[in-house]
Amino acid sequence: MKLRELFLVKPGSKVNLSKIDPDFTAGFKNEKSAKNKIKKYNKSMTDLQNSLFAEGKWSVLICLQGLDAAGKTGTISHVLGSMDPQGTRVCGFRVPTAEEAAHDFLWRIEKQVPAKGEVVIFNRSQYEDVLVVRVHNLVPEARWSKRYDFINNYERQLGANNTHIIKFFLHISPEEQLKRYKERLDDPAKQWKITEADYKERDFWKQYMAAYEDALSKTSTENAPWYVIPSNHKWFRDLAVSKIVVEELESLGIKIPKPQVDVDEIRRKYHEARSEEAEGKGLHVEKGPERPRTRKATIKKD
Ligand code: AMP
Ligand code: MG
């Protein structure tokens, strides 16, 4: 099934979250039936991110949004954690510090966007400034209502500089959120996460859905698309996010750089000749396969 097309917010379309079932699993019956696929996509993600790092041409920014307990942290560790930490960074955005609040809302974002070859994951993002800020009237409507355009312009600017942006809204039901809060309550290792404010925030569910519907509708663009991921089932969320990230990365046409040296020459000079020399001295030489493993199949020519 084409999950990418299914969950994409088509640029210009109007999102109605009440029509998207957070329990949807695209015909998969349970975690077991999805496990091998998740493994396969995670492996592809590892390879693609390595190539992205090697090529150093693209930057990738993955924005994760969702209400509390929607699974942002779980997605980061289960799915995106398969990428090499050397080329990835996770950045969380919380209530702005005094310094952040004294600046324009994009100031703290700009400092964290990915460099070339890097994948950065935002746990919450610039979108909080049209979500929580709107729901709680933290700034006047006249100000937050202009931010959709500011965000689109900024994301277009990043896109023009080879930053590919992928945005996920992890869609859960209020019942599922309450169930997860109860699990936190029953697990001593997770009790530290609980605040009473999280429970009180549930009274604003409708307002959050309205704010999300507007944000998703106004800011899903070709360069920076939104995907609404049914997330009541954690394993399905992992499957959908990993598959979409793989397809998005594949769409970049990443090419592993060609070797800077004559590979055969280097092999002959430093490996085969040395082996023969060592053998001549009676040293133990561990012989590898006749031809070393090559990745020729994945190297695309210019
Ligand atoms: P958590 O993700 O559980 O660590 O919580 C972070 C909190 O910071 C959430 O309640 C967010 O809504 C809040 N937050 C993030 N960005 C902003 C912002 N720009 N203005 C106000 N609150 C924010
Ligand atoms: Mg929290």
* Residue of minimum CA distance from atom 18 in ligand 1: 95
| CA 128 / ligand 1 centre spacing (Å) | 7
Ligand 1 neighbours (beta carbon < 6 A): 68, 93-96, 124, 128-129, 132-133, 138
210 three-state secondary structure: helix
Structure tokens at 286: 């561990």
> In this predicted structure, what is the pLDDT of residue 300?
46
Q: Which residues of 136-149 are buried (b: 16+ CB within 10 A; e: fewer)?
A: eeeeeeeebeebbe
Closest ligand 1 atom to the C-alpha of 201?
10
Are the C-beta atoms of 9 and 211 separated by less than 8 Å?
A: no
Atom of ligand 1 nearest to the CA of 100: 19
Quick one: how far is CA 100 from the chain centroid?
24
pLDDT score at 288: 52
Farthest CA pair distance, the chain = 82
Of the candidates 129, 6, 121, the one whose C-alpha atom is nearest the C-alpha of residue 75 is: 121
Distance in angstroms (rounded) separating the CA atoms of residues 135 and 26: 32
Residue nearest to atom 2 of ligand 1 (CA): 94
Task: From 219, 192, 197, 233, select the one nearest 68 (Cα to Cα).
Answer: 197
Atom nearest to 198 CA in ligand 1: 10
Q: How far is the CA of 92 from the centre of ligand 1 (A)?
A: 9
Residue nearest to atom 5 of ligand 1 (CA): 94
Q: Chunked in runs of 10, what are the mean pLDDT values of the chain (302 residues)?
A: 93 98 96 94 96 98 98 94 94 98 98 98 98 98 98 98 98 98 96 96 98 98 95 97 97 95 95 73 59 47 44
Side chain identity at residue 122, one-letter code: F
Q: pLDDT tens digits for 100-142? A: 999 999 999 999 999 999 999 999 999 999 999 999 999 999 9
Among candidate residues 52, 3, 58, 45, the one with its CA nearest the CA of residue 237? 3
Q: What is the pLDDT of residue 236?
A: 97
Q: Where are the alpha helices (DSSP H) in the chain?
A: 3-7, 31-55, 72-78, 98-101, 107-110, 132-135, 141-144, 147-160, 174-186, 196-201, 205-219, 234-250, 263-266, 273-280
Query: Which atom belonging to ligand 1 lies closest to the Cα atom of 123?
Result: 2
pTM of the model: 0.91
For ligand 2, an ion, list residues with CB under 5 A.
Answer: 68
